[in-house]
Amino acid sequence: MGNENFDIQSYMTKGVERVVKDAVRATLKNPAESIFMAKFAMASKKASNVRKKYKDEGLHVPPFLIASITSSCNLHCAGCYSRQNEATKDCEPVNQMSDEEWLKIFNEAEELGISFILLAGGEPLLRKGVIKAASNIPNILFPIFTNGVFISDEYFEMFDKNRNLVPIMSIEGHKEATDNRRGEGIYDKLISNMETFKKKDLIFGNSVTVTTENYEDVLSDDFIQMLGGYGCKAVIFVEYVPVSDESKDLALSEAQEEQLRARIAELREKYEEMVFISFPGDEKSSGGCVAAGRGFFHINSHGGAEPCPFSPYSDTNVKEASLKGAISSRLFKVLQDTDILKDDHVGGCVLFEKRDQVQAILNS
């Protein structure tokens, strides 16, 4: 359980510094990338001081933000939490935040000292205007969680010119596992993208949803070496969160979660040229779940500020309240002040499991 004296701000700041340090090391053989990462390391330190200043004034600003910039997606991945929550659809979405509204949020995030904004969806590359808006803010690193299908010459050029945009392509293991979950032909497209990234000397990462089915494969040296061979610099392991009772058997057991943490520590030692991140990761060392503004929060495609993509509940919209207003939302405050985020739970996500309690806070 979380230590009473645990300081989430310094834990997350140290985490950010480690990621940046690892990324600088991971890009040493690439001059353009190293120069960018060295500048970003300085910007990140500055941002950390800005967050500290706000903390002294009583406002806890998290270093990370997750922005789902669209609810539209071209794929139907098995067990997708976003479709289950009806946050992702096939049709052209209505009332989504405009490119200008997202740019305003990104600018405000920079002023508040936020260092990382993870762009998610749906499929974020469907929103070219938002990606262009992000490219104008070099002091924030934007990992873009994409299925890789829409990566084109135009995007390769954009990634080359704007090193703060880092595509993170979803892959489920080798060909069979990836195509089974994501659709026929997706694996080959990902490999083709990776070959082009390597040829153009561009940084990219991979995101892997870890389930009981692909657990052995995605943690194997064979898989990690394959990604590393193509020049992958960051692997983000996302523990599968069960979205319905039928998909519960895909969630890792507690023993497997322990093994995952141990394996990630091994991978960090063994493959120094790559960065390994686990999400939600080791909640035990961070004094519980870091959602709801403790370490990050989520903005959905309509501007609703939510604790986490897996917990789609909101009492504040950034269109009306601004980012600062969202950070101070009543829902986040109650979640931070009670012990819900520190509770034991099954599977990757405490807020998903305690969704009735979150709903009750909203209704009270």
Q: Does a structural domain hold residue 63?
A: yes
**CB–CB of 289/250 below 8 Å?**
no
The pLDDT assigned to 243 comes to 62
Q: The CATH number of the domain where 279 resides is what? A: 3.20.20.70
The pLDDT assigned to 50 comes to 95
To the nearest whole number, what is the mean pLDDT of the chain? 79
The pLDDT assigned to 62 comes to 85
pTM exceeds cut of 0.75: yes
Strands 275-279 and 234-239: parallel
Q: Does a structural domain hold residue 1?
A: no
Is it the case that residue 292 has pLDDT exceeding 60? no
Q: Does a structural domain hold residue 59?
A: yes
The pLDDT assigned to 222 comes to 94
The residue written with tokens 């009583």 in the block is: 58
- Count of domains in the chain? 1
Is it the case that residue 318 has pLDDT exceeding 80? yes
Rounded (10°) angle between helices 153-161 and 128-135: 20
The parent domain of residue 39 ranges over 8-363
- CB proximity list for 169: less than 8 A, separation 6 or greater: 146, 147, 148, 151, 190, 193, 194, 204, 205, 206, 207
The pLDDT assigned to 330 comes to 78
**Mean pLDDT, rounded, for 204-220:** 92
Strands 298-299 and 305-306: antiparallel
Q: Does a structural domain hold residue 2?
A: no
Is it the case that residue 88 has pLDDT exceeding 60? no
Is it the case that residue 266 has pLDDT exceeding 90? yes
| Maximum average pLDDT range among 77-81, 146-150, 342-346, 359-363 | 146-150
